[in-house]
Structure 1
Amino acid sequence: MNDHNKDSIKQSVKDVFFQPKVLVVDDEVRIQKACQRLLTEEGCDVEIAENGIIGLEKIDQTHFDIVLLDLMMPGMSGVDVLKKVKSRHPDTVVIVITGYATLEHSIETMKTGAFDFLSKPFSPQELRVVISKAIEFLRTLQDIATEKSRMRVMINTLNNGVLTTDNQKRVALANPAFLKMIGCKKNSVIGQHVSGIIKDERLLEMIDHAISQSEDTFAEITDEISFTPDSEEEKIIGVRCIPFRDRLNRNLGSVTVFHDITSLKRVDQLKSEFVSMVAHEIKSPLNSILMQLNVMLDGLAGELTEKQTEILSRSCDRIKSLTNLSSELLDLSKIESGLINQDREELNLVELIQGQVDLHAEKARQHSIELEMSAEETDIPMLGNRINIEEVVSNLISNAIRYSPDGGRIFVTARAKKDSLMISVQDTGLGIPQAELPNIFDRFFRVKNEKTRFINGTGLGLTIVKKIVEAHHGTIEVDSEEGKGTCFSIFFPKSEYKI
């Protein structure tokens, strides 16, 4: 017998956070003493019971992690003891000790709830092996219970509401924040059908949609729903619902997260009113000026000299820049308020990026810029908002075109890495000075030098790109060398919500 086998129980005991308590229930003194001596040496806390009645009395007084139980004893049989132990203490591991003549009975007891069995006579090593297995099983149960407890505490202390259901739409988890949001005063709703606690038809429809999605579809359903709990003001709740699946992609149920956006909506309302006022007071006059300038440029107000045409054209470009600035400010305010449209669906990144490359191809050709797209696969799935991700890719490509000299090259790449999805846009353009790189995502920041001062822009494009990427739980990196070009790399998490 080697040292590894001798230390098997000791090692298992070290791996758990408690000293295993073992009860040996057997009418043979020889078995009692042998088991007690060996298991005590291995680090277990061991007690003895001469029969089933005494054993049950001890179990009622003290919790035992493991019970070694002889089937054939005078008085109460081991089978009866087993049934009572499992009914009172279902987490206790029971190992049956039996003679060869009752092997079939021991198998039947395993169906009743026994963990394993030892056939008499058994060796010390056989006892070590079965006890080690039992301790490993207890450790697994402990890890599961600890993780469930940790998760329950974390979810119950969240300010956001959380509701999970099984695939029959029965409540599996509902934290206090959720119950308060919907005005539910029940102490426990676990096991109830969602229709018994939720009255909002739209929310029930979202949960039903999430659960009924086919295996080849994975979409996040989002909406804003108004609730009016008893004696309270109306609350506006942002709701996000997704299916919950196992590793075989089977629907196990749904997970729904609730975020109170009442205050944000009120602020957004004020912002919207302000922006609407600014749009009316500024954009309307700008558009009128732009129309008048276009009339003059078209020669309808008289013939223009070459110098006059140049000045008016430059004025038109400036006014268009101001119009774009107001639009981008509106987009940015929506993103920062958390109210940008976040309906998400499973996207094919390759198809989405190719669409943007095709869209900008003509503009690239006008400047003799070679615009290429490459991907290692034809289908790279991602869970995201189509309009937002298209805006990110479009912004980076248009920046690359603007800051690349005629005859340059732009490479757009999509790649699925081990734990993320990557989009990169690389150009052979002007590049960014190293000292300016930390500031390029700041709002209104633009690199200004002799080469860039004639390039129009608002200084908000990269700010918006970063905000959208972060809203999708992604990151963006930039690598640039002045005079050689720039590469923007975006990393998104893979669209896998599985256990």
Structure 2
Amino acid sequence: MDAPLEACPDSHPTRFDQRELHKLLCSLSDELCRPLASLRTGFDLMLGDGPADFTGDQKGHVATMRSLCDDLLRLTRSYLDYAEVIRGGRSPSLGTFSIRALVYEIDRSFGAAARAKGLDWRAEAVDGDVLVATDATRCQQIFAALVSNAIKFTPAGGRVHVEGKADADSWSLIVSDDGPGVPADQQGRIFEPFYRLNRDEHSSAEGNGLGLSIGLELANQLHGRILLDSDEGRGAVVRVVFPRTPPAPNSAAAGKTRADRP
């Protein structure tokens, strides 16, 4: 049996480290967001009420700068998102949802983009009528990280399938694709903060290396775990498993955050 893969092997942040990282990321986000927001406003004014003698090329350059500014704003805000997740200040808000409803939301959010890319997209709930207790907002953040990653790296003509199912004491969401897969020597690192796979053919793929880290932290907060089964060149199957009835939010803290290979 393969050994479990640790999300941050031998270096998982202590509570003190997390507090320091939270302060650093919040400060960084604040320092960057304010000037970027001002720049964004300036670009809007230039495009809306700028000089009448702006040429088409000049307007195009300003529009490009505005778009780059938006990208940087999204990046800095993602740092703040990660800071809030690792702080874990908000207890899960549990509600009762059907697996079908949770899968439908994934299909609504990602189906059109996957088909537009030319992917064989399918999202189905095998045990759709089963009701589970969870925080739907956190679930969707977890699923979004996994599904968007699969769509991003699977080339046109490939397959991305999402399946929701239930067992006696747990329920799971499985995201499978036939993309490039994850090399064995990197499977223990893809859930680390800021880590990105070194793939020349996908070097232009956008991302900041935080999506999977955020997903894993949130899964841990819901007493779930993420399992990865992948071979380089043969796609990947990622399964996130939750208890059907999780412990109360004020119960003993969950164990160390992990991503495992089944």
Query: Could you state the TM-score of these two structures normalised by the residue count of structure 2?
Result: 0.74
Pick from 302, 305, 317: which aligns with 2:55? 302
- Other-structure match for 1:425: 175
Q: Distance in 1 between matches of 2:232 and 2:202?
A: 12
- Other-structure match for 1:460: 210
Kept in 2: contact 1:321–1:457 (CA 8 A): no
SS in 2 for 1:304: helix
Deviations 1:212-240 (A, max 9, x none): xxxxxxxxxxxxxxxxxxxxxxxxxxxxx
Deviation at 1:344, TM superposition (A): 0.9
Kept in 1: contact 2:176–2:237 (CA 8 A): yes
Deviations 1:366-408 (A, max 9, x none): 2112321122222222221111011111221111111111222
- Other-structure match for 1:366: 116
Kept in 2: contact 1:297–1:304 (CA 8 A): no
- Aligned residue pairs total 227
Asked if 1:412 corresponds to 2:131, the answer is no
- Other-structure match for 2:31: 281
Kept in 1: contact 2:99–2:127 (CA 8 A): no
- Other-structure match for 1:357: 107
Deviations 1:257-277 (A, max 9, x none): xxxxxx99xx69x949x82x5
Report the structure number with the largest CA radius of gyration: 1
Deviation at 1:280, TM superposition (A): 4.4
Kept in 2: contact 1:411–1:425 (CA 8 A): yes
Task: Report which stretch shifted further, 469-478 or 426-435.
Answer: 426-435
Identity of aligned residues (%): 24
Q: Distance in 1 between matches of 2:47 and 2:182?
A: 36
Structure-2 change in CA distance of 1:279 and 1:450 (3 Å): closer
Gaps of 5+ in 1: 1-262
Structure-2 change in CA distance of 1:295 and 1:452 (3 Å): farther
Alignment of 1:314-463 (within 5 A): 318-463=68-213
Structure number having the greater strand percentage: 1
SS in 1 for 2:200: coil
SS in 2 for 1:359: helix
Structure-2 change in CA distance of 1:364 and 1:291 (3 Å): farther
Alignment of 1:144-159 (within 5 A): none
Kept in 1: contact 2:120–2:157 (CA 8 A): yes
Asked if 1:486 corresponds to 2:214, the answer is no
Match for 2:198: what amino acid?
Answer: K
Q: Distance in 1 between matches of 2:198 and 2:69?
A: 20
Kept in 1: contact 2:32–2:76 (CA 8 A): no
Deviation at 1:295, TM superposition (A): 7.0
Q: Distance in 2 between matches of 1:372 and 1:278?
A: 39
Deviation at 1:320, TM superposition (A): 3.4
Q: Distance in 2 between matches of 1:393 and 1:354?
A: 12
Could you say what the CA RMSD is over the residues aligned between the two structures, in angstroms? 3.1
Kept in 2: contact 1:397–1:425 (CA 8 A): yes
Gaps of 5+ in 2: 1-14, 248-262
SS in 1 for 2:201: coil
Deviation at 1:426, TM superposition (A): 0.8
Deviation at 1:291, TM superposition (A): 4.8
Structure-2 change in CA distance of 1:388 and 1:496 (3 Å): closer
Q: Distance in 1 between matches of 2:23 and 2:150?
A: 32
Deviations 1:158-209 (A, max 9, x none): xxxxxxxxxxxxxxxxxxxxxxxxxxxxxxxxxxxxxxxxxxxxxxxxxxxx
Deviations 1:108-145 (A, max 9, x none): xxxxxxxxxxxxxxxxxxxxxxxxxxxxxxxxxxxxxx
Q: Distance in 2 between matches of 1:451 and 1:465?
A: 25
Deviation at 1:332, TM superposition (A): 2.1
SS in 1 for 2:56: coil
SS in 1 for 2:187: helix
Structure-2 change in CA distance of 1:312 and 1:437 (3 Å): farther
Structure-2 change in CA distance of 1:398 and 1:316 (3 Å): farther
Kept in 2: contact 1:392–1:465 (CA 8 A): yes
Match for 1:465: what amino acid?
Answer: G
